[in-house]
Every structure is written in structure tokens, then in C-alpha cells.
Structure 1
Amino acid sequence: MFPIEYFLGLILIGVCAGFASGLLGVGGGFLIVPLQYFLLKYIGVEPDLAMLISLGTSLAIIIPTSISGAYRHSRTLDNIKRPGLRLGVFGIIGGAIGGFTASGLPSNVLEIIFGCLLLFVAVNNIININKEREDARIPFNLLSTGIIGLLVGFSSGLLGIGGGIFLIAILTSLLGFSMIEAIGTSSIFISLTAVGGFLSYMVSGWGVSTFPYSIGYVSVINFIFIACFSVPFASIGAKFAHRVPQKKLKIIFSVLVLYMALKMLGILP
């Protein structure tokens, strides 16, 4: 039913997204969503369904992938568990709301939203590329935790990503976290917030999706092939993150996000 290059593409997505997830604390969704989307369109899936399958399946894959990275980070950083869990509780709620919202939007709208947000994150990181740590501009309390968790969680469910690309930018630029602290905290947050979005895509696509071997908008085939490689490579990426200078992490993060932003906006072929 599927050509061999489709399965090879899924494996490649798993390797790249898993390593990026552990290295950068982003869940890998910013790679999993667009790459799955392009791969599904390549085999003839119509764009709207391809986008929803990419979003829903991405969130399912992010859960075990980010847990793998979070475990590795928490063994080195003992100050990331509490903020990660606090943000994640609110992120679950936001993720569920975002997932249900996405099912009612056309694929071209989601592509533009996804691309613009990625572009903002990339520009913000490039501007602050030389800063090791910024002073906190807002206090990290229950109010700020709730607002940030809900908003980032909503973007996670809406766009099928873990939300790490947005959370890391917020933690480093507004809350005074170092890059490696933000990456570790984000890994914990992502493993929780993806659950809400994942469940909403299963429910909203139940009896609607016509993609083979899928539960709602979650493709079982895609999940198995990508997760089998993303989970171990997330652990490898997390191990590397503690050896790479923070400036280099920011450069890698910014280049990857900028490329995917321009790709989703149709600026790059």
C-alpha cells in the first residue's frame, strides 16, 4: 500500500527529530509535522487530511520521545523538574483546546500560522545569540506559569508540536533561564502537554479520517516507524546537549527553525 521510500522517509524523520528533540529540548514536532506533511502529500494524501494526520501523529510521537530526553536531562539538572511539571499541568489543558481548534481550520491557514511563529522564534534567537543568560523580566509565579503553560500548550495542540520552540524562547528571554536549563525544563513540559493535544486529535478524527491504519488523526504506521528511532536518538541528543557550548546550541536551534519557517511559508522550495 505504501512505497518503500515512504518507510525510509519515516525512519529518517525519526532519527532527525529524535536527535533534535534531545539536543534542543523541542520535542521534535517542528521537524515531524512539516516532514510528515510533505511525505504524505508525496504519496497522494490530500493536503487537509495530510496536515491533520501530521499534527495528531506528531503529538503522539512527541510523548515518548520527550520523556526519553527529559529523563537524560533530569539526571544532570536537578532544578528543572518543578518548573517543568508546573508548566506542564497547564500545558495539558491548552494542548487539548488547541487540538480541537485545529480540526476546524484549513491546512493553508495552519501552514501560515506555523511558519510565522517559527519565523518569530528564529529571529528572536538570532538577535540574542551572544547572550548566555538574560535577566528575568517577569517573576516565575503561579500567574505567569498558568498563562505561559496555557498559551504554549494551545500552540502545541494547534500546530502538532511539543511547544518547546516557544517555551525555550520565553524561558530564556523573559524568565532568566540559561539555554541548557530551558532545554531541560522544556523536555519535561513537552512530555506532559503533548498528551492533551494527542487525545483531542484522536477524538476529533474518530470516524472522520480515511487514512489507513489510523486512530482518529493519529497514524499507527507513522507512529511506530518514527517513534522506534526518535526515542533512542532523543537520549543521544540530550547527552550531547550537555557537551555543546550554549552559543552553538542557539545557532543550531535558530538555523533549523528558520529553515522550517521559510519552508512552511513557501519561501523555500
Structure 2
Amino acid sequence: MIIIFSIEYIIGLALIGIVAGFASGLLGVGGGFLIVPLQLFLMESIDVDPRISMLVALGTSLAIIIPTSISGAYRHSKSTSNMVKPGIKLGVFGIVGSLIGGQLASILPTDILQFIFGIFLICIAIYNFLTINKKDSESKIKFNLINAAIIGIGIGILSGLLGVGGGIFVIVALTALLGFALVDAVGISSVYICLTAVGGVISYIVSGWGVNPLPYSVGYINLINWFFIAICSVPLAYFGANVSHSLPEKRLKQVFAIILVYIGLRMLGVLP
């Protein structure tokens, strides 16, 4: 496989970093829900094999999420003092789950991965539309070690499988089940995905070692994609986190839901 990374390709990576970084800080979701499909579309435009491009998009997304989410978490920690402890508690279990999810992704067919990705995004978008006028939820379950393990590992598996850091799912769990306000959930989520992404990255490096023919890669982590997306996404994540604290919760949910519907439909092939 001969792949040439053109200047147009590099510009495309930078644009992905700008958009995904801002979304990451704004919504506390790591940006993977944008980084994965946009990388996939970009690599397919230079004729990378669809199976390889999907796994590289997933693995590299998790590697990008680590510095991006750290940037967002740092900003959120200035405004949300109680986010670090629950974020770490969930994240430790998330590492275990993401290791499992990464291994599952390496054996599942590409079209199945895309279908699962699209369906989950649309389901979460629907949830946000249905709860757009809902005030802070009451806690339905206690935030103890057992529930943290169940939520952390379960979401971690989805994180590794879909290359999304898990922030999308953590926010839903924190607000719908544990009664956290959205702004607090965004902060906790940014800590969680810092840790969970590590497990997924390890899994994608191991499963792609000696298999991925794309140049400048470590396993399924492509260093060209990682560098140019991360260098733009990290500062934009900090900026997006600043913006999130100035927007009303209802507006955040609207932005979150609309983006998820669009990306989900594209992954399902409904939109061009």
C-alpha cells in the first residue's frame, strides 16, 4: 500500500482537530464522535482500505482524545470542584472496559462497527431531545463502588469498541441515573475519558502491531493523523470548555443532539 499524505490531507486533519477540539471542550465528550467518522471519510478519500481506515480511525481517535480531554478537564476543574474524584473512580474501571472493547473492534466487521456507532449516536441524540426542558434529575441509584464499576466498565467497552472516549455515554449515565447537573457531568466526563482512552490505545496498538500497512503507524495508531489533529484540538478544547460555562444548559443539549443526529445518519449511510 503506497499512501502519500498531501497538503490537502494535512489541512483536512487540522480542520478535524479544530472542530473536534471545540466540541470536546464544549460538550465534555472527548471529540471522538467527530474524530472517528471524519478521519474515516478523509482516509477513504486517499484510497485507504476501508477495514484499515476504520480501525485506524478508532485507535487514533482514542490517542487524540487523551491530550484533548486533559485540556478540557483542566479548564472544567477551575469551575467544577467536585469533578475529579468521581471522574477518577469511573475512569479506573473504564480502562478495563476499553481494553476489552478495543479487542472486540479488531474482530468485528467494519460495517457492523459503523452501524453500532451510528445507532448509539442517534439514540443518545433522541434522549437529549426528550430531556431538553428537563431540570436536574434526581439520583436513581447511589454513586458507590459497585455502580461505578458497572457504569465504568460498561461504558469503557463501548469506548474501546467505538473509539469515542466514552464521554457521550458517561454524561447520559451521570445525568439520567446519578442525578448530576449537565455542567457537572461534563466536567466529570472529561476526567473519565482521559483515563479510559489509555486502555483503548493500548488495545489498538497490540491488535494492530505488524498488521496495519499505513505508514507512520504504531499498531492502529497513525502518528500523522494523531499529530495534526491533536495539535489543533488541544487548544480548541480549552476554548470550548470556556464557552460551555457561558451557555445555558438547554442550548448545550440542543447543540449536542443536532451534531449527534447528523454524524449518526452519515455513519449509517443515510446522508451522503
RMSD across aligned C-alpha pairs, in angstroms? 0.6
1:78 aligned onto 2:81: yes
Q: Does 1:146 align with 2:130?
A: no
The CA deviation at 1:3 is: 2.3
CA contact (8 A) 1:132 1:247 kept: no
CA contact under 8 A between 1:69 and 1:235: conserved in structure 2? yes
Distance in 2 between residues matched to 1:76 and 1:7, nearest whole Å = 35
- CA deviation string 1:19-63 (max 9, x = no partner): 000010000000000000000001000111000000000000000
1-structure distance, mates of 2:232, 2:202: 22
User: Paired residue for 1:66?
Assistant: 69
- The answer to whether structure 1 residue 250 and structure 2 residue 253 are counterparts is yes
TM value normalised by structure 2: 0.98
User: Match for residue 178 of structure 1?
Assistant: 181
Distance 1:191 1:131 in 2: 28
CA distance in 1, matches of 2:153, 2:11: 36
2:263 is the alignment partner of 1:265: no
C-alpha separation in 2, matches of 1:99 and 1:60: 12
Listed one character per residue, the Cα deviations across residues 137-163 of structure 1 (whole Å, up to 9, x for unaligned) are: 111111110000001111000011111
Which of 198, 219, 222 is equivalent to 2:222? 219
5 Å-filtered alignment, 1:236-247, equals: 236-247=239-250
Which residue number in structure 2 is paired with residue 39 of structure 1?
42
Separation in 1, partners of 2:240, 2:14: 16
The residue identity in structure 1 corresponding to 2:15 is L
Could you give the per-residue CA deviations for residues 232-255 of structure 1, whole angstroms, max 9, x where no partner exists? 000000111111101000100111
Q: Do 1:94 and 1:149's aligned partners in 2 also have CA atoms closer than 8 Å?
A: yes
Q: Indicate which of 163, 178, 187 corresponds to 1:160.
A: 163
- Is the CA contact 1:60–1:194 (under 8 Å) kept in the aligned structure 2? yes
Runs (5+) with no aligned partner, structure 1: none
Contact 1:65–1:230 (Cα < 8 Å) also in 2: yes
Superposed displacement of residue 132, structure 1: 2.7
- What code does the residue aligned with 1:199 have? I
In 2, Cα distance between the equivalents of 1:6 and 1:170?
Answer: 37
* TM-score normalised by the chain length of structure 1: 0.99
Asked if the contact 1:87/1:145 (under 8 Å) is kept, the reply is yes
Q: Which residue of 1 aligns with 2:28?
A: 25
Corresponding residue number in structure 2 for 1:53: 56
Matched position secondary structure for 1:44: coil
Distance 1:195 1:13 in 2: 21
Equivalent-residue separation in structure 2 for 1:87 and 1:163 (angstroms): 11
Residue type matched to 1:149 in 2? G
| Residue 15 of structure 1: aligned partner | 18
Identity %: 58
Match of 1:114 among 99, 102, 117: 117
The offset of 1:101, in angstroms, is: 1.0
The count of residues paired between Structure 1 and Structure 2 equals: 269
Q: Distance in 1 between matches of 2:159 and 2:53?
A: 18
1:21 partner amino acid: S
